[in-house]
Amino acid sequence: LAKTTQPISMDSYEGQEVNITCSHNNIATNDYITWYQQFPSQGPRFIIQGYKTKVTNEVASLFIPADRKSSTLSLPRVSLSDTAVYYCLVAHGAGGFKTIFGAGTRLFVKA
């Protein structure tokens, strides 16, 4: 099962673009890459998912290079409310069986 490596923490300022990179060297052919956001005292919340190239939704963009050994979550123009822990995980195809959450990246957005 592919494990992920992310920075432990990052700081940013309001209005900046934030890029969080995740390494997943052992990703399997049928693994998807998924990112979650977690606020204190809440369960994680799905942000975005991709398999290859670029995916964009109303919240974030996900960049995946051709070798798929890493991915980058991009948050445009962050605000104070984006302060949270962000998890990158890889999962076997649909259904998310035996997903592996890493320790996550704690993003702190300052005014």
Partner 1 sequence: DVKVTQSSRYLVKRTGEKVFLECVQDMDHENMFWYRQDPGLGLRLIYFSYDVKMKEKGDIPEGYSVSREKKERFSLILESASTNQTSMYLCASILAGEDSNEQYFGPGTRLTVT
**Residues binding partner 1 (CB under 8 A):** 32, 34, 36, 41-46, 49, 87, 91, 94-104
Least Cβ distance, residue 20 to partner 1 (angstroms): 14
Quick one: 13 or 25, whose CB is closer to partner 1? 25
Geometric angle at alpha carbon 29, from 23 and 33, rounded to 5°: 45
Quick one: 66 or 97, whose CB is closer to partner 1? 97
For the chain, report the end-to-end CA distance as a whole number of angstroms: 39
In the 8-state DSSP scheme, what is residue 30? T
Least Cβ distance, residue 8 to partner 1 (angstroms): 9
Sequence-distant (6+) residues with CB within 8 A of 67 are none
